[in-house]
Amino acid sequence: MNTLPLCSVTVSRRLCKIGAAFLLAAGMLHAASSQADALDNINKNGKVRIGVFMDYPPFGSIGPDMKPLGYDIDMADLIGRALKTKVELVQVTGDNRMAYLAGGKVDLLLSVGQTPERAKVIDFSNAYAPYYLAVFGGPKLLVKSNADLGGKTISVARGTLEDLSISKIAPADAVIKRFDDPNGAISAFLAGQAQLMVVGNDVGATIMAKNPTAGIEQKFQLFSSPDHVGLNKNEPRLAQQINQAIGQAKKDGTLNKISQKWLRVSLPDDL
């Protein structure tokens, strides 16, 4: 049985990355706004510095060859090609990445969910990757919507956004099995103690990759919070370049290929 480290299996980890970093980033915003145009600096330096998580598979992690890999690594390469410059990957954490952006240590951030709090500090590109909670289960189980959850057993980590989301929409006769942590919920599902589980699409993709013979598939989506490129405010030229790159990658199918490669699903039509 394969299980995943706690840091990579809960949407709560992603959501708690907002933290106190906003206060620090907000305090540095004035200094960032007084710097030269970001696109000019990128061209002058001959590289774009992109902040990425290296402990967040399948978006970013370190492979067996000790090289970075994942959705965001491919996205960073795409941005580098669009800007016609080299890419310098900068490892960031949830606590420091907003300050890194405001302080000029990176030019861009990846895997940024758009929230009102963050919008006070940074700007966002158009969405480039899907991020959502979803219901996962075996191929023989016909589940297409919340109505089909009736009579089914569902594993979930107690008190998480996953728990709150599924509890809100599940029929009264659905059996929600709550576990103390995400690893417990996933292990129970893999052991056959539950017919379905609720996790983030990133976690689901990792579980499917680690358990290829189980035939696990995504049934339907719940809560959605797509990923955007984050950049400092008042950088319209850089924002335009990034949005053009994203738009072209959607149009020519490049982003869809990246999504299929790392998330094992096609890019949503409404992204």
- What pLDDT, on the 0 to 100 scale, is given for residue 100? 95
Task: Quote the pTM value.
Answer: 0.77
CA-to-CA dists, residue 52 to 48, 108, 137, 180, 183, angstroms: 12, 9, 30, 29, 24
Mean pLDDT of the chain: 87
Tell me the average pLDDT across 46-74: 94
- Cβ–Cβ < 8 Å for 216, 264: no
Tell me the average pLDDT across 14-38: 50
Give the pLDDT confidence of 181-214 residue by residue, as tens digits: 888 999 999 999 999 999 999 999 999 999 999 9
Please name each of the domains of the chain with its CATH number.
6-131+226-262 (3.40.190.10), 132-224 (3.40.190.10)
Higher pLDDT, 32 or 151: 151
CA 113 and chain centroid, separation: 8
Higher pLDDT, 12 or 83: 83
Give the pLDDT confidence of 210-263 residue by residue, as tens digits: 999 999 999 999 988 899 999 999 999 999 999 999 999 999 999 999 999 999
Q: Tokens at residue 81, please? A: 């090609």
